[in-house]
């Protein structure tokens, strides 16, 4: 495990030179976007003046050009920044990944496949839109791992009274999705979900949870802290406890507290799947502020370290059973 001091050293000796080069690129992109923004603003102003007459009837007409202008600006920014973002990831994120562990591979456009996401049994809704990036893969000790950012959504369409159809997108999951080789062999499926019912309703909540159709049996475990945070479903009472030993339960609780976020786990065919919810995109460079700053580098490092650290936090490298 690399320390913050080591990261600081890495930043001061190697990374900072790359950042200086990228900073020049960033400034160029900001300048271009600024010019584009000015241009769009001018166009909007002209349109508004021309439409003066229409605006007297309804202020709504003013909205259309403004909104349209903003959308166009957004698209232009995205297109112009693409090259810069790509460069940033190739240099900075790649550098930090290799700094954490030389043997890990990084692919900025790669992500965990949709079929794997569906197969992990955590999220029952099928995604209508699925994307991701920043795939890291490799083997730490005896454990093979793979993780990436994932954003999965489903859509609902509503038809209002005038017959207009609107599509709404809802997030199924957004955040870090991690797959690891588990240290025990097992044939059953176990899913560990965040527990809301039990926390508020106690035993009554447990009763509602056991009615959850479409999931396996509710598995009631002994660790009270674990039970308060998670609800466990599985198809075999004994195998589920074989996987979720008392020490693993404690480690999962500690890991959840460390992330401070909602986490989901599942255990299928001797692999462990961990989904950590984030409401923002990770590993994206800032456009409007300087790159020559240790704080965001520390942020990327800590996010990566969190995922890589799952192997140690959940003790996956202890291989004292028959699986090696």
Q: Which residues of this chain interact with other proteins, rule CB under 8 A?
A: 184-185, 220-222, 237-242, 245, 320-324
Residue with smaller CB distance to other proteins, 237 or 298: 237
Question: Can you name the residues that pair with 129 across neighbouring β-strands?
Answer: 153
Residue with smaller CB distance to other proteins, 74 or 141: 141
- Supply the minimum distance, in Å, between the C-beta of residue 254 and other proteins: 20
The CA distance from 123 to 262, in Å, is 13
Residue with smaller CB distance to other proteins, 115 or 322: 322
Residue with smaller CB distance to other proteins, 159 or 322: 322
Residue with smaller CB distance to other proteins, 143 or 239: 239
- Supply the minimum distance, in Å, between the C-beta of residue 220 and other proteins: 6
Whole-number Cα distances in Å, 283 to 1, 135, 148, 279: 20, 11, 10, 13
For residue 301, give the nearest of 13, 107, 11, 104 by alpha carbon: 11
Residue with smaller CB distance to other proteins, 149 or 181: 181
Pairing of strands 189-194, 271-277: unpaired
Strand (E) positions, 230-293?
A: 230-234, 263-268, 271-277
- Supply the minimum distance, in Å, between the C-beta of residue 216 and other proteins: 14
Taking phi over 0 as left and psi of -120 to 50 as alpha, with beta for the rest, 265 belongs to beta
Enter the tokens of residue 46.
């002209």
Find out whether 309 and 172 touch, Cβ atoms under 8 Å. Answer: no
Instruction: Supply angle C-alpha 86, 83, 177, rounded to 5.
Output: 30
Which secondary-structure segment (H or E) carries 50? Answer: helix 16-50
- Supply the minimum distance, in Å, between the C-beta of residue 300 and other proteins: 38
- Supply the minimum distance, in Å, between the C-beta of residue 25 and other proteins: 53
The CA distance from 277 to 306, in Å, is 13
- Supply the minimum distance, in Å, between the C-beta of residue 221 and other proteins: 8
The maximal CA–CA distance of the chain, rounded, in angstroms, is 81
């Amino acid at each position: 495990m690399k320390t913050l001091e080591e990261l600081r050293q890495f930043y001061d000796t190697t990374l900072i030179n790359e950042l200086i080069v990228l900073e020049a690129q960033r400034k160029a992109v900001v300048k271009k976007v600024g010019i584009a923004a000015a241009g769009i603003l001018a166009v909007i102003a002209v349109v508004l003046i021309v439409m003066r007459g229409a605006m007297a009837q309804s202020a709504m007409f003013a909205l259309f050009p403004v909104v349209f202008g903003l959308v166009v600006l957004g698209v232009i920014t995205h297109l112009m920044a693409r090259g810069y973002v790509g460069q940033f990831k190739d240099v900075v994120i790649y550098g930090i990944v290799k700094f954490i562990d030389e043997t890990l591979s990084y692919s900025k456009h790669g992500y965990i496949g949709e079929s794997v996401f569906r197969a992990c049994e955590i999220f029952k809704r099928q995604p209508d839109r699925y994307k991701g990036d920043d795939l890291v893969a490799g083997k730490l000790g005896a454990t093979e791992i793979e993780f990436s950012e994932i954003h999965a959504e489903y859509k609902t369409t509503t038809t209002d009274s005038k017959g207009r159809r609107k599509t709404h997108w809802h997030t199924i999951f957004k955040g870090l999705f991690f797959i690891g080789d588990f240290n025990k062999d097992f044939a059953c499926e176990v899913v560990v979900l965040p527990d809301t019912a039990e926390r508020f309703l106690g035993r009554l909540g447990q009763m509602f949870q056991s009615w959850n159709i479409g999931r396996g049996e509710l598995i009631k475990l002994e660790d009270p802290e674990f039970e308060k945070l998670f609800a466990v479903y599985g198809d075999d009472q004994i195998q589920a406890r074989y996987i979720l030993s008392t020490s693993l339960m404690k480690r999962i609780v500690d890991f959840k507290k460390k992330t401070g976020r909602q986490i989901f786990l599942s255990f299928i065919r001797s692999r462990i799947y961990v989904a950590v919810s984030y409401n923002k995109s990770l590993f994206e460079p800032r456009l409007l502020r300087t790159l020559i700053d240790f704080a965001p580098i520390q942020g990327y490092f800590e996010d990566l370290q969190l995922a890589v650290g799952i192997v140690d936090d959940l003790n996956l490298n202890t291989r004292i059973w028959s699986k090696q």
